[in-house]
Chains A and B, each alone.
Chain A
Amino acid sequence: MRAFIPNPSFIAELEVDPETVKVFEDAADAVAEEANLLRHRFMREDGAVLARNESSRIHMDVYVVNVDPGGHMDEWGSVNNEAYAPLRTAVGNVGLQFAPTSKPA
């Protein structure tokens, strides 16, 4: 029996694999679509929540962002606004798990 030798470049190879990136793009699209249904319309008519792929040739970065200037109030609420939490809620609604982490250095 041969010993299993982990591929030290496994994660790095996955990050530049087009099929893997496509999985994350599709997930981000689904979350953005759901979040746009959930969010309160403060200022923009539609499309305030966007999926963005800013991956480079060596690193995968797929985001879902709320570009509405009032998006922070939509997500967290304020004294005058209820918290609708579209981003946090949308992740679970499309079957994914929201796992908060600190911003990477």
Chain B
Amino acid sequence: MSTVNIEGLVFTYLNSLSLGIAITPETPDNQTQPWIKVTMLGTRTAGNQNADYFHDFHVQFDVYAGTDGPEGQPEAEGYYQDLRDALTAWPELDQGVSAVRFTNAMRLPDPAFKPSRQRYMLDTHLYARQAVGS
């Protein structure tokens, strides 16, 4: 039995919603459009420690605006809210993710851009199970 490919689940799910923003595991070459970067920071077995089919995934989402400076904030904030709504609704869809817990969220402008690019960071724990029979 393989473990859950949580990033694959995230990409499939968010892309199916047509949020109008790129969902990517890496910083895109084209940084003139907004994007959401998905990073899995860690995973632990959830529940029974002997069962390797139910996992607690620590996933960070970075929502970047497509323009530098404070004028990008409404755009980034809008996509951040869309992302948060989408993740909140996910467990009800029975796609393998049983629960979503938001452990932190903040507006964290990225100073690597001049002026700083607006970014919303969403720190989450996604509880996902392996599909039966896989």
Contact = CB atoms under 8 A, between A and B. Distances in A.
Interface of A: 76-83, 85, 88-89, 92, 98, 100
B27 A79 contact: yes
B12 interface: no
Nearest to A80: B112
A79 B44 contact: no
Contacts of A100: 103-104, 123
Is chain A's binding surface mostly helix, strand, loop or mixed?
loop
A82 B129 CA distance: 27
B58 interface: yes
A88 B58 CA distance: 10
Contacts of B41: 83, 85, 88-89
B123 A78 contact: no
Question: What are the 4 tightest A-B residue pairs by CB atom distance, in nearest-first order?
Answer: A85-B41, A79-B112, A78-B112, A100-B104
Contacts of B39: 77, 82-83
B13 interface: no
Interface string B82-95: 00000000000000
28 contacts: A76-B60, A76-B108, A76-B121, A77-B39, A77-B60, A77-B62, A78-B110, A78-B112, A79-B27, A79-B31, A79-B110, A79-B112, A79-B113, A79-B117, A80-B112, A81-B112, A82-B39, A83-B39, A83-B60, A85-B42, A85-B60, A89-B42, A89-B58, A92-B42, A92-B44, A98-B103, A100-B104, A100-B123
Contacts of B123: 88, 100
Interface in B58-72: 58, 60, 62, 64
A98 B121 CA distance: 17
B111 interface: yes
Nearest to A89: B42
Contacts of B44: 92
Contacts of A80: 27, 112
A72 B41 CA distance: 15
A77 B109 CA distance: 11
Nearest to B108: A76
Nearest to A81: B112
